[in-house]
């Protein structure tokens, strides 16, 4: 119950307002003022957590408008995801942003110092999965996490993966990214002792069916401790991974 409600109640208490007037006011007050929900689901709760603008389907001008408004409201750490190189170039004329080509993310403000429990490992099956992986990695870094990148460690060359068992065994959270048969999640899930968030990618052809094969494979993982996000959703995986990697900050 926020100050608005409190102020209304005080007015009633002081006799400045009747109970009927108060009832009316409470009724018409915007819901978010009552605190039943987060005003903005991207709003920073901890220090250093950025606002996020989903860039896909927005014009550079729309994005610039939102950016302005956010900056005016004092936000100094902003991510724009799924942003094309062209749109980023236009926005960069007005705002001091850093653009990550592979990740297709633009960032406003400084990358915060990592303040999580441990490190997030971002692993991919192949090199074609790297754009999704970079979306995850940059997101995780901007949310205050130390990130270890293990790219091209697909299960068909097991030695490549096993050569990094140290990183896998000591990770706080692992984001396992793979297209085609998506087996990486299960193999990592079997090696690791931490939550694994699997990201199927639309990499592949034929019976890969735009990521469906990897998605089903990951959902059926025989390893415990693996959950899955949408195809190519590097951001979503990193968002949840960051939540997990900041668990101790909560209680």
* Helix (H) or strand (E) segment spanning residue 7: helix 3-13
Task: Report the interhelical angle of 19-28 vs 3-13 (nearest 10°).
Answer: 170
Least distance from its own copies to the Cβ atom of residue 98, Å: 22
* 227 near its own copies, judged by CB under 8 A: yes
Radius of gyration of the chain (CA): 22
* 222 near its own copies, judged by CB under 8 A: yes
> CA nearest 18: which of 8, 27, 32?
8
Number of residues that bind its own copies (CB under 8 A): 110
Question: Which residues in the 53-82 window bind its own copies by CB under 8 A?
Answer: 56-58
Question: Which residues in the 171-210 window bind its own copies by CB under 8 A?
Answer: 172, 179-183, 185-187, 189-191, 193-195, 197, 200, 202-210
C-beta atoms surrounding 195 within 10 Å: 18
CB-nearer residue toward its own copies: 96 or 195: 195
CA distances from residue 162 to 102, 146, 180, 189 in whole angstroms, order as listed: 26, 21, 20, 13
Question: Which residues in the 7-36 window bind its own copies by CB under 8 A?
Answer: 9-10, 12-13, 15, 18-20, 22-23, 26-28, 30-32, 35-36
Question: For residues 242 and 146, what is the distance between their CA atoms, to the nearest angstrom?
Answer: 10
CB-nearer residue toward its own copies: 15 or 74: 15
Question: Which residues in the 79-138 window bind its own copies by CB under 8 A?
Answer: 117-118, 125-128
> CA nearest 179: which of 143, 149, 218?
218
Question: For residues 183 and 243, what is the distance between their CA atoms, to the nearest angstrom?
Answer: 25
Question: Which residues in the 228-247 window bind its own copies by CB under 8 A?
Answer: 228-233, 235-237, 239-240, 243-245, 247
Return the residue of 61, 89, 101, 162 that touches its own copies, per CB under 8 A: 162
Stretch that binds its own copies, among 67-75, 88-96, 100-108, 213-221 (CB under 8 A): 213-221
CB-nearer residue toward its own copies: 93 or 167: 167
Task: Specify whether the CB–CB gap between 160 and 154 falls below 8 A.
Answer: yes
Question: For residues 64 and 67, what is the distance between their CA atoms, to the nearest angstrom?
Answer: 5
CB-nearer residue toward its own copies: 77 or 172: 172
CB-nearer residue toward its own copies: 94 or 220: 220
Contacts of residue 223, Cβ cutoff 8 Å, sequence gap at least 6: 185, 186, 187, 188, 189, 190, 196
Return the residue of 55, 109, 154, 234 that touches its own copies, per CB under 8 A: 154
């Amino acid at each position: 119950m926020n100050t608005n409600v409190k102020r209304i109640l005080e007015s009633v208490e002081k006799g400045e307002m009747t109970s009927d007037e108060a009832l009316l006011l409470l009724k018409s007050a915007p819901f978010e003022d009552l605190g039943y929900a987060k005003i903005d689901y991207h709003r920073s709760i901890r220090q250093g957590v950025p606002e996020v603008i989903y860039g896909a389907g927005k014009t550079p001008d729309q994005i610039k408008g939102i950016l302005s408004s956010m900056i005016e409201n004092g936000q100094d750490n902003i991510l724009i995801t799924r942003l094309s190189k062209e749109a980023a170039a236009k926005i960069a004329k007005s705002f001091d942003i850093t653009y990550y080509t592979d990740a297709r993310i633009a960032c406003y403000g400084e990358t915060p110092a990592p303040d999580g429990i441990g490190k997030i490992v971002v692993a991919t099956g192949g090199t074609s999965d790297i754009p999704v992986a970079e979306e995850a990695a940059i997101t995780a870094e901007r949310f205050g996490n130390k990130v270890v990148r293990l790219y091209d460690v697909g299960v068909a060359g097991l030695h490549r993966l096993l050569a990094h068992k140290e990183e896998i065994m000591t990770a706080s959270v692992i984001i396992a990214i793979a297209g085609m048969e998506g087996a990486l999640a299960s193999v990592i899930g079997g090696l690791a002792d931490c939550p694994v968030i699997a990201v199927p990618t639309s990499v592949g052809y034929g019976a890969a069916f735009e990521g469906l094969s990897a998605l089903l494979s990951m959902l059926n993982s025989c390893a415990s401790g693996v959950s899955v996000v949408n195809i190519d959703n590097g951001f979503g995986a990193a968002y949840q991974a960051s939540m997990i990697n900041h668990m101790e900050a909560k209680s």
